[in-house]
Structure 1
Amino acid sequence: MVKIAVAAPGQVAREITEVLVATGKHEVITLARRDLVPEEIVEGTTPLKVDFHNKDDLAKALRGVHTVLSFVVAQNDPEATAQKTLIDASIAAGVKRFAPSEWFVARFTHLKWNDSKLLARDYLEEVNKNGKVLEYCLFQPGLFTDYHANENINKHLKTNDFLPIDFANRRLLAPGSLEPRFTATTIQDVGNIVAKAIEYEGEWPKIGGIAGETLSLAQELAIGEKIRGKKFDVELLDLDSLRRGEWNGSWVKPLDHPSVQHLDEETRAAFSRAAFSGFLLALAEGDMVVSDEWNRIFPDYKFTGVEEFVSNFWVGRP
């Protein structure tokens, strides 16, 4: 049994925390910049209000903690100040393991709102350059398979319309061709792997890919048409236009992520088009595929595939 600190407990964090608590093996505290309302508190955890810019405050909260899992929202921490302070406080408190706020893919060439993740990576490299001071792992599961549903099916994670395939309306947007590939992993599988990683006695890999399934848009389309029973409308978008910042698709899903909900409708629509363009360009350049370090460490773990998930959700629905 170890003590775990979950920093900035948003949707993804709470789903993973539920899994950790369910093991019954660990003490879990959550660190937030404000007092959490009851529905934000995972039963079985201890919430603490902290200042993420105050190293001493954080170090005090982290006394006795073995592992820190950070979920600081990149857009809210553009200079990675909160994450760097959390890293410094973890070292000061004697924390053994640290997971920075990754939980996505490895490269952000076209996903600039994630650039602060790169700053946190660089800082971890810097503090360990003369020898390991803090063991860490970049947990990278790709996209959440759960986004294939068109309604909220999880306790905390909300449906995010960040997929170029629309199962409800039987349509697909593709960057130039159907060849680009991406990795998708269910949030339950991510939580299970993190729980196993907590108990793993070996050293954590610095890059921690969690690959539920990696498939092409062509395979994704075949699954959609098989399960939904009809042909999908497919649009192959011009990559040069996307690179010039020109949206040339006939539709785009408005983003519903908490980080953009405060924006007015026009600004949110513009951001959605820009984000979707960036996502498609990342797809085209292979940036949405992650590695499989944790799959190889736990070879007997069975992941939920995309077709299995889609079938379980969509079969029988209009």
Structure 2
Amino acid sequence: MVKIALAGASGQLAREIIDALVATQKHEIIGLDPAPLPSLPGVTWVKTTYEDKSELVRLLQGVETVMCFFPVHFDPGSATQKRLIDAAVEAGVKRYAPSEWATGTKLETSLDGIPWYAGKVEITRYLEDLNKEKKVIEYTRFQVGAFMNYLGHPHKTSEHVKTLSFLFDFEKQRATLVKDRLDDVVVWTTVQDIAGVVARAVEYEGEWPAIGGITGTRLTVREMLQIGEAIGKPFTIDWLKLEDIEAEERDMGSFADFDLHTASPEVVEAFLNMALKGILLGISRGAYDITDEWNKILPDYKFTQVEDFLKKVWGGK
């Protein structure tokens, strides 16, 4: 049994992971969040603002693994997550998973396009500095690429994660892509596989890899278009020029504190249009090409493949 604390436990991906941990019937789970959450077997919900370090140290006593799910763009200077990390170290926590859950090792070169992820880079540096002289906490940066479940939108393919149309809209059979960039790579991973890997990672007896890539399916843009053709969902493509996206990059920071779930439909539409261009810029620089450290550690884990997922969701529809 492992005692696990999840910070930002009401987050959609956090809830998927909590369900996977609960299903093992092995662990003591603490869900940290400002809001109360529904009763689940084996889960203790603790209300906290994360502002009091001494309170966090007390709450993390006896915890082996802390996982963070903060939206980093709502944490100026990453102050809250740094406080959580410091409290984890002081409480003697063995393992920490920062709030990554998306892009890979080339994120830093893409921050002009996706500035809302800057906190991920800042926390990486903070953890590296903590362990510079000697290892004070083991950590892994769970990097997963894009949620494959988005490819099934608007169909419900996950329990908690709400989907949106992302890059490839299979319902409308449209895609927005960058001209002459068909060999750019995106890794697609289902939220169920992310949760499944995490549930195994907390039990892993070896040392966590600092970079913890989880690769469901690694596809080029060209290969995704070919899959669409094969399952009877060919795309009409809106082509953008990379140089035009780069010229607009200075405006992308205007949404750095944006909340997709509470904004008006008009603001959401404006954000998605801007964010799509930023993400396409990131893809062109390799930000969504994920490594496979956890695939290698867990060679028996069977990941859902994009083509199988799409056939299940869209076959005959």
Distance 1:127 1:4 in 2: 21
Q: Which runs of 5+ in 1 are unaligned?
A: 247-254
Q: Does 1:213 align with 2:214?
A: no
- TM-fit CA distance, 1:263: 2.8
- 2:87 is equivalent to residue 89 of structure 1: yes
Residue equivalent to 1:160: 164
Task: Report deviation, 1:265.
Answer: 4.0
User: 2:32 — aligned with what?
Assistant: 31
Residue identity (%)? 43
Contact 2:185 2:289 in 1 (8 A): yes
Q: Which TM-score applies when normalising by structure 2?
A: 0.91
2:202 corresponds to: 198
Q: 1:267, CA displacement in angstroms?
A: 3.3
Deviation at 1:43, TM superposition (A): 4.4
Correspondence list, 1:245-264, <5 A: 245=248, 259-264=259-264
Aligned residue number for residue 15 of structure 1? 16
Equivalent in 97, 100, 116 of residue 98 of structure 2: 100
In 2, are the aligned partners of 1:210 and 1:294 still within 8 Å (CA)?
yes
Amino acid at match of 1:53: E
Structure 1 vs Structure 2 CA RMSD: 1.8
Aligned match of 1:306: 306
> Is this contact kept in 2: 1:99–1:138, CA < 8 A?
yes
- Partner residue of 2:252? none
- CA offsets 1:239-297 (integer angstroms, 9 cap, x no match): 11111118xxxxxxxx9xx9223334443333222111101111122211010011111
List 4+ stretches of structure 1 deviating above 6 A.
Answer: none
> What TM-score, normalized to structure 1?
0.91
Aligned to 1:252: none
Letter in 2 for 1:181: V
Which of 55, 58, 70 matches 1:57?
55
CA–CA distance in structure 2, aligned partners of residues 281 and 267 of structure 1: 21
Q: Do the aligned partners of 1:32 and 1:49 also contact (CA within 8 Å) in 2?
A: yes
Kept after mapping to 2: 8 A contact 1:174/1:280 = yes
Q: Is 134-143 or 102-111 further displaced after alignment?
A: 102-111
In the alignment, what sits opposite 2:127?
A: 124
**Aligned CA distance change for structure 1 residues 231 and 146 (closer, same or farther; 3 Å):** closer
Residue segments in structure 2 that go unaligned for 5+ positions in a row: 250-254
Secondary structure (helix, strand or coil) at the match of 2:4 reads strand
Q: Is the 8 A contact 1:78 1:115 kept in 2?
A: no
1:182 to 174, 180, 186: 186
1-structure distance, mates of 2:197, 2:262: 33
Task: Provide Cα deviations, 1:25-61, integer angstroms capped at 9, x if missing partner.
Answer: 111110002333x3xx544311001121211111111
Equivalence for 1:251? none
Aligned residues: 303
Pairwise CA distance, 1:125:
1.1
Distance in 1 of aligned mates of 2:302 and 2:149: 16
CA–CA separation in structure 2 for the residues paired with 1:57 and 1:87: 13
Contact 2:27 2:42 in 1 (8 A): no
Cα offset, 1:230, TM superposition? 4.7
Paired residue type of 1:63:
Q
Residues in 2 aligned to 1:58 and 1:223: alpha-carbon distance in whole angstroms: 48
CA separation in 2, counterparts of 1:50 and 1:6? 12
1:285 paired with 2:289, answer no
Following the alignment from structure 1 to structure 2, what is the Cα–Cα distance between the partners of residues 205 and 231? 39
Quote how far apart the aligned CAs of 1:184 are: 0.6
Q: Secondary structure at the match of 1:307?
A: helix
Q: 1:172, 1:221 within 8 Å by CA — same for their partners in 2?
A: no
1:230/1:56 CA distance change after superposition, 3 Å: closer
